[in-house]
Amino acid sequence: MFVIFGAGGKVGNASAAALRRAGCAVRAVVRNAAQAAPLIELGCEVAIADLHDPASVARAIDGAHAVQMLCPVPRDHDDPASAMRRMIDASVDALRANPPQHVLALSDYGAEHASATGITTLFHYLETRLGTLDTRLTFLRAAEHMHNWARVLPVALAKGVLPSLHHPLDKRFPTVAAQDVGALAAQLLMDGKPPRHSPRVVSIESEQRVSVIDVARTIADLAGRTVTAHAVPREQWAAMLAGAGLGDGHARLIVDLYDAHNAGCIDVQDGVGERRFGPTTLTQALAAIVPRGAALSA
C-alpha cells in the first residue's frame, strides 16, 4: 500500500494517478471528504487525516509499504511557522511508532539552509525531523511551482501588469510543473533499488530556466493581450501581501523567502544528490491556468 498525503493537491493527485496507472494500491489522504470523489474515481482508498493529530496520521499510514509526506504551510494560521512545525512533529511521531519501509518527503530547493530562507526553513525542519527515523528516506526537492503564478493572473490580465517579488526581472530561476513533481515522486516510491546514500536527495526543475519577463511574455501570448513584468519595490512587499489577505506571520515568511531567492540562496544544492528535469514547459503549464485567470479578471 502506497499512502499519499496531500492527495487532493496537484502534486499528490499526480502521484496517486501515476501509482494507480502502474497497478499499485493507493490510500489517498485528504483533509476533508469534499476532496475524495476524484480520488475514488482513480481507484484509491481515501482516508481523512488531520496532520496536527498523531493518532489521525497513524490511522492513515497503517499497513503502508511507502508514504509520500507533504506538510503544507497553514496559510490561515496566526503563526504558520509554528503550526507547520507542530504538524511535522505529529507526523514524525506517528511514522516513528509504525515506520513504513520508505518515506518520501516533498521538499523545496534551498532546504539545506537552516535559517534566513522564510518558508523554505520549514522544509529544512521537515527534512531534519524525518532524518531521525530508522527507515529508507527520499527528499524530493522541487523548484518554484509554475502554477503559483495563478495567484496573480487575474491582476496581471486585468491591469496588464505582472507584479513580482523576483528581482531583477531578467534573472533566470528554476521552476517546475506540479504534475512533473508528482510523477517523479511516484517513480521514486516504486524504485525498489536501495539508495547509495541515505537520505536520498533528488532535485527537480524544468528543462529551461525562466525570468519574470519570460513569464509575462508567455501570459501575454496565451491571453492575446499586453502584459508587462513589474518588480514590486522591496518596501512595498509587506503592504502588497497584506492586501492579498496574508497575515503578518505568513507575509514575513514570504518576504524572507524572496530576499533569500534574490540573493541567490534558493537553488539546487551543488554536489548533493541527483538532478532530474521535468518535461512540462512554462507555456504548457500556463496554458492550463490562463483561461481561468482571464475569466476571473473579466
CATH numbers and ranges of domains, the chain: 2-146+176-204+265-278 (3.40.50.720)
> Cell numbers of 88, please?
511535522
The whole-angstrom separation of Cα 259 and Cα 117 is: 8
Rounded Cα distance between 133 and 44, Å, is 27
Tell me which H or E stretch contains 60: helix 54-61
Residues 6+ apart with CB under 8 A from 72: 6, 9, 84
Give the integer Cα–Cα distance in Å for 250 and 76: 8
Claim: this prediction has a pTM higher than 0.75: yes
Closest C-alpha to 205, from 266, 254, 256, 260: 266
Exposure string for 257-291, b = 16+ CB within 10 A, e = fewer: bbbbbbeebbebeeeebeebebebbbeebbeebbe
Residue 293 banded pLDDT, cuts 50, 70, 90: low
With bands split at pLDDT 50, 70 and 90, how would you rate the model's confidence at 90?
A: very high
What H or E segment, with its residue span, contains residue 28? Answer: strand 26-30
CB neighbour class for 34 (10 Å; exposed up to 12, middle 13-18, buried from 19): exposed
pLDDT at 228: 97
- pLDDT tens for 241-286 read 999 889 999 999 999 999 999 999 999 999 999 999 999 999 999 9
How far is the C-alpha of 62 from the C-alpha of 237, rounded, in Å? 44
Give the rounded distance of the alpha carbon of 70 from its chain centre.
Answer: 8
C-alpha cell at 292: 481561468
Range in 89-93, 157-161, 190-194 with the lowest mean pLDDT = 190-194
What mean pLDDT comes out for the span 195-220?
Answer: 93
Look at residue 296 and tell me whether its pLDDT is greater than 60: no
Within 8 A by CB and 6+ apart from 298, the residues are none
Cell numbers found for residue 233: 519595490
Q: Is the pLDDT of residue 76 over 90?
A: no
Q: Tell me what pLDDT residue 295 has.
A: 57
* Whole-number pLDDT of residue 183: 98
The DSSP call for residue 137 is E
In whole numbers, what is the pLDDT of the chain averaged over residues? Answer: 94
- Could you read off the pLDDT of 21-59 as tens digits, one per residue? 999 999 999 999 999 999 999 999 999 999 999 999 999
Phi (first) and psi of residue 125, to 5 degrees: -65, -40
Helices and strands (H and E) in the chain: how many? 12, 12
What percent of the chain stands above pLDDT 90?
91
Residue 256: HSE in the Cβ half-sphere, 13 Å Cα cutoff? 18
CB atoms within 10 A of CB 23: 7
Q: How far apart are CA 44 and CA 23, in angstroms?
A: 11
Asked if 202 contacts 277 with a C-beta cutoff of 8 angstroms, the reply is no
The predicted structure's pLDDT at residue 29: 98
